[in-house]
Every structure is written in structure tokens, then in C-alpha cells.
Amino acid sequence: MTRVMPTLALLVATGVAISAGTPAQQAGAPATPPPAANTTPWPAPPATKLESDYTSLFNGKDLTGWKIGGPANSFSAEQGAIVAHGLSGAGHLYYDGAVENHLFRNFTLRLDVMARNRSNGGVYILTEFQETGFPGKGFEVQVNNSHTDRIRGGSLYHVVDLSNIPAKDDEWYPMEINVQDMVITITVKGEQVVRWKQPADWNSNYDTPSRKIAPGTFAFQAHDPNSVTAYANIRVKALK
């Protein structure tokens, strides 16, 4: 996720230089068109057997049990995956189903994620539905291999930021997010990359009003028109 003001956010997130333009453009000449979209077919997600103590949150066919905040065309179900593409600007897809009444506190979330070239996305935890805007509650786990935002996949965004590139573009990889009491751990490709314990005096971080451990739901992010990410085999185990 890249967090800046509207309009400027779109320019930065899509990689457009902010300037007055060339003399020819100022004179009314057509601007250079944006890069063509990546039309290379993306691979189908891996087949994963549902563990006996986990519950699936996605039926693999449609968005039943999920609710879009933001542009309605931001999300679709394709090839057994939830595909996030912010065609009309940023949007978020919130789990709104019956499992735990979509309110989770201690849990392990497992899923497979994939990002296309120069794409940015994220998995939100402990959040709540918003009609528009970036979620103001909960935490984002970054999905990003090559986007201009240099906070890479597996980061607990703006809490524990990582620079290591977790995977290749168009590569599916497993992610596990665990919340137990006041500790969040993130595992990517079987390797723990984040273990963060919320300090006793923690109120939030510097850019989100309520980024703290408290019951909430899950969400996926459609970041911008040039970012395509996908999520599959989404399952959760509630913990005591």
C-alpha cells in the first residue's frame, strides 16, 4: 500500500512523473501514453488440500461472503482465486461471511498470494468494513515484489517494513499470518519474516488512526489501475 493524498496518490502509485509536462505537451500535443497492461496469462493457483482444523473463507467460484468497499469492479473471482485490480482506483474486499461472524481475534490465516509485475496489494487483518478509503482499523500485510513502493511482501506495513523481495512476479507463494494475544507473526514460503509484539503503550502507528490488535475481519486490497494481485486457498483456524 502507498498512503498519500488523493490524486497525488494515483500519480505516485501508477508511476507517473509529476511535472508541468514537456513544451510540446504544454502546447497541446498528445501526452505519451501509459505503459500497456500486462496481458500475459497468469498461472492458476496451486491446489491445496484443506487442513482438518481450518475453515475455508472463499468458495473458489464467486465473492459470496465478501463485501467490496470502493469501486465495484475492483475484485473478481477467476481461476479459483480472488483477483484484485483497482481499475477505477483503490478498493478493498472485506470478509463478511458467517465464519466466526467475521470477527477474529486469535487465529492463523493461511493463503496463497501472487503479484503481477510492478503490482501492489495487501492482506488486512483485524480490520472492519469501510465504504471507501484505505482501512483505518487493523494491520496490512504487504503483497509487493516490484512496485515502486519499496516496502516488500510480508511486511507488517509501517510497523515492521521489509526490503527483501519475497518472490518473483507471477509466482504464487504461501503466506501465513498468526495473531495470538499481543503478538503477530508472518511467515512467507515457510520462513518467519516478522514477529512483532505490540508494546503496552502502543496507540497506533503514524499514519493510521487505529492500527492496533483488536477483534476484526480480513480484507484484500486493490491498490491502483496498474496493480493486479490475487489470493487463493484462503482458510483460517480460530485460536483460543
| Residues 73-114 pLDDT 10s | 999 999 999 999 999 999 999 999 999 999 999 999 999 999
Residue 41 lies in a domain: no
Please give the model's pTM, rounded to 2 decimal places: 0.84
126-154: average pLDDT: 96
The values of phi and psi at residue 89, to 5°, are: 110, 175
Q: Which three cell numbers stand for residue 237?
A: 483456524
**Residue 43, pLDDT score:** 92
- Which CATH number covers residue 113? 2.60.120.560
Helix (H, G, I), strand (E, B) or coil at 10: helix
Residue 43 lies in a domain: no
Residues 156 and 194 sit within 8 Å (Cβ to Cβ) = yes
Residue 124 lies in a domain: yes
Residue 96 to residue 101: CA distance in whole angstroms: 8
Helix (H, G, I), strand (E, B) or coil at 191: strand
The values of phi and psi at residue 124, to 5°, are: -90, 145
**Owning domain of residue 206:** 53-238
More confident residue, 138 or 204: 138
Which of 181, 179, 217, 233 shows the shortest CA–CA distance to 101? 217
- Reply yes or no on whether the pLDDT at 230 is more than 60: yes
Residue 40 lies in a domain: no
More confident residue, 224 or 13: 224
- Reply yes or no on whether the pLDDT at 127 is more than 60: yes
Count of structural domains within the chain: 1
- Reply yes or no on whether the pLDDT at 36 is more than 50: no
Residue 108 lies in a domain: yes
Residue 176 lies in a domain: yes
For the stretch 9-23, pLDDT in tens is 333 333 433 334 444
